Amino acid sequence: MINRTRYYKFDIGDGLMRRTGAIIEYLDKDGNWIEDRNLIRKFIGGDTDFDEISFEHALKIIEERSRK
């Protein structure tokens, strides 16, 4: 089975995370993806409001973050 990567943007600010299977990562201020197992609570417990976004939208945020 091939795991599809899904991207999510937090409602507040420009926070971005991605999920590929059981691996959940967030984009840090330097544009690096950091794995954080604690983020699973965001999906299970609904601790934070976020929306799934397209890869294209995520790419724009990633590129913008890399320029800073």
The total number of structural domains in the chain stands at 1
Q: Which residues of the chain have pLDDT under 70?
A: 1, 42-48, 68
pLDDT, residue 50, reads 82
Torsion of CA 60, 41, 13, 62, to 10 degrees: -20
pLDDT, residue 62, reads 87
pLDDT, residue 21, reads 86
What is the residue range of 40's domain? 5-67
pLDDT, residue 42, reads 65
- Compute the distance between CA of residue 35 and CA of residue 28 in angstroms, rounded to an integer: 10
pLDDT, residue 54, reads 95
What would the two tokens of residue 52 be?
A: 């799934």
pLDDT, residue 7, reads 94
DSSP state of 68: -
